[in-house]
């Protein structure tokens, strides 16, 4: 592996720090970086990619050592500033923006004493020498790949892969690239900042952190914060947190997020509420993730929520787009004929008094009467609670069915009842068979 000093590796140097180092880098750029390789050493990049990165006799090995996050540039600066002492052992050093916790020296540890590379590294405050290790040949290409092709555009939905928000969904606000090595994305997530729970979660003991439950997902309520609250435009700052429309603005490393395809129904409702606070400027409903528990079958009656108003229709077919997404239905819309409609605009036409079965989610398999409805949220009664509502589900996660009566008696015979819906509402009648 030939010696190389790249601008990407060391980052921009500040004026006045070390004029001698500036002169050295200028000399390297003039005599080495811009000097073409001999023809026999020139290789097509695609060929190199196929052959892999193989060490040759005489090459120094690539090592890695853990350092304090965001201090990798300063570690490299200290190493290069000692080039006169370390040049026999150290060929180059760099960090990778994809993994900001390590510094990679290309070196051969051949000396001992206070001026040796090992002792210089040991003397740096931000390095942890117990982590010093050779990079396996199988990982060389990954370590040397500086550019990260995975980008996330503003408005894209992502899933958090680790940490307090692991498994949660978020909306990309903007890309983030600090002046040093930090790269990532700013994501809007539903906060998990329950005060009592958050203190347990961030307790010093790692055992407490593992055992403590995560704070629940709740939109930020400024009225609950009496101190340390500041407002600027649509943003609130409380302690060290920043919020927009009830959502937390949080920076994540690129490796900590991945594209999302579905969203839990609870987070779907919270993001929808946040969008209402923002006046629908937060995101377009058409870009919203498909809730995990939505399910449609041909023949079901639905309400189609067009921008100009709601109308009714019947599902004809369900179109699949990819393995994880079912985003379109062909619907026979009243007065408009067969239309291809996004699932986000559909709501099953379920009303109080209907008997339904839950198809997916926490209450899968349960059946009961719809006794309440707010927007598309149903209150289901199965008789387990005196209040009348045993649980709540979204209308798109149920299907209409009929109760299975096992008794043969008719306890309502000759009992006066009141019609709550249909054409004869409020009339008093007696039941007759």
| pLDDT value of residue 55 | 60
Q: Which of 89-98, 161-170, 173-182, 399-408 has the lowest mean pLDDT?
A: 173-182
Average pLDDT of the chain is 74
- pLDDT: which is higher, 200 or 346: 346
pLDDT digits (tens, 9 = 90+) for 262-282: 787 778 878 888 888 887 667
Per-residue model confidence (pLDDT) at position 136: 86
Q: What is the structure's pLDDT at 325?
A: 44
pLDDT of 330-358, one tens digit each?
999 998 999 888 887 889 999 998 999 98
**Banded model confidence at residue 424, pLDDT cuts 50, 70, 90:** very low
State yes or no: pLDDT of 301 exceeds 90. yes
Q: 226-254 pLDDT, tens per residue?
A: 777 888 888 888 888 999 988 999 988 88
Out of 41-55, 89-103, 229-243, pick the least confident.
41-55
pLDDT of residue 8: 39
pLDDT for position 191: 93
**What's residue 354's pLDDT?**
92
Q: What pTM was computed for the model?
A: 0.45
Least confident among 192-196, 198-202, 332-336: 198-202
**Residue 412, pLDDT score:** 62
pLDDT at 122: 87
pLDDT in tens, 108-158: 888 888 888 888 888 888 888 888 988 888 887 777 765 544 567 788 888
Question: pLDDT digit string (tens) for 366-387?
Answer: 899 998 887 788 889 887 655 6
With 80 as the cut, is the pLDDT of residue 47 above it? no
Q: What is the pLDDT of residue 150?
A: 55
- Angstrom distance (rounded) from CA 359 to CA 399: 7
Extract the tokens encoding 402: 């009929």
pLDDT at 199 over 50: no
**How would residue 99 be classed by pLDDT, with cut points 50, 70 and 90?**
low
Please give the pLDDT value at position 350. 93
Q: Quote the pLDDT of residue 230.
A: 85
Confidence of residue 324 (pLDDT cuts 50, 70, 90): very low
**pLDDT (mean) for 309-324:** 72
Band of pLDDT at residue 61, cut at 50, 70 and 90: confident
């Amino acid at each position: 592996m030939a010696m190389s000093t790249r601008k990407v590796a060391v980052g921009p140097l500040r004026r006045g720090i070390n004029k001698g180092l500036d002169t050295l880098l200028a000399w390297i750029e003039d005599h080495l970086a811009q000097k073409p390789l001999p023809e026999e050493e020139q290789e097509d990049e695609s060929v190199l990619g196929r052959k892999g990165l193989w060490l040759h006799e005489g090459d120094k090995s690539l090592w890695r050592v853990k350092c304090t996050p965001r201090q990798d540039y300063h570690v490299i600066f200290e190493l290069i500033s000692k080039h006169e002492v370390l040049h026999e052992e150290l060929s180059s050093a760099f960090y990778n923006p994809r993994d900001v916790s390590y510094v990679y020296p290309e070196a051969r540890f051949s000396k001992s004493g206070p001026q040796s590379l090992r002792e210089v590294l040991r003397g740096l405050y931000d390095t942890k020498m117990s982590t010093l290790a050779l990079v396996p040949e199988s990982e060389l290409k990954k370590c040397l790949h500086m550019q990260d092709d995975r980008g996330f555009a503003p408005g894209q939905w992502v899933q958090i892969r680790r940490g307090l928000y692991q498994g949660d969904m978020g909306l990309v606000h903007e890309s983030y690239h600090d002046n040093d090595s930090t790269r990532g994305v700013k994501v809007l997530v539903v906060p998990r900042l329950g005060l009592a729970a958050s203190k347990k979660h961030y307790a010093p003991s790692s055992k407490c952190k593992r055992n403590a439950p995560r704070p629940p997902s709740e939109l930020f309520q400024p009225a609950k914060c009496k101190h340390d609250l500041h407002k600027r435009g649509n943003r609130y700052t409380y302690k060290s947190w920043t919020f927009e429309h009830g959502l937390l603005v949080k920076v994540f490393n690129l490796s900590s997020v991945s594209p999302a395809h579905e969203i839990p129904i609870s987070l779907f409702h919270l993001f929808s509420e946040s969008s209402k606070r923002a006046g629908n400027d937060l995101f377009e409903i058409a870009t919203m993730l498909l809730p995990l528990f939505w399910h449609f079958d041909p023949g079901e009656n639905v309400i189609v929520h067009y921008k100009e108003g709601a109308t009714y229709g019947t599902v004809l077919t369900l179109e699949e787009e990819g393995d994880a997404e079912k985003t379109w239905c062909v619907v026979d819309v009243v007065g408009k004929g067969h239309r291809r409609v996004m699932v986000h605009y559909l709501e099953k036409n379920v009303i109080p008094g209907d008997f339904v079965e839950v198809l997916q989610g926490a209450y899968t398999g349960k059946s009961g009467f719809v006794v309440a409805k707010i927007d598309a949220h149903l209150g289901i009664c199965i008789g387990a609670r005196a209040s009348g509502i045993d649980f709540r589900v979204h209308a798109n996660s149920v299907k209409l069915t009929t109760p299975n009566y096992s008794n043969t008696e008719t306890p309502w015979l000759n009992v006066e009842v009141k019609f709550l819906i249909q054409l004869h509402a409020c009339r008093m009648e007696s039941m007759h068979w």
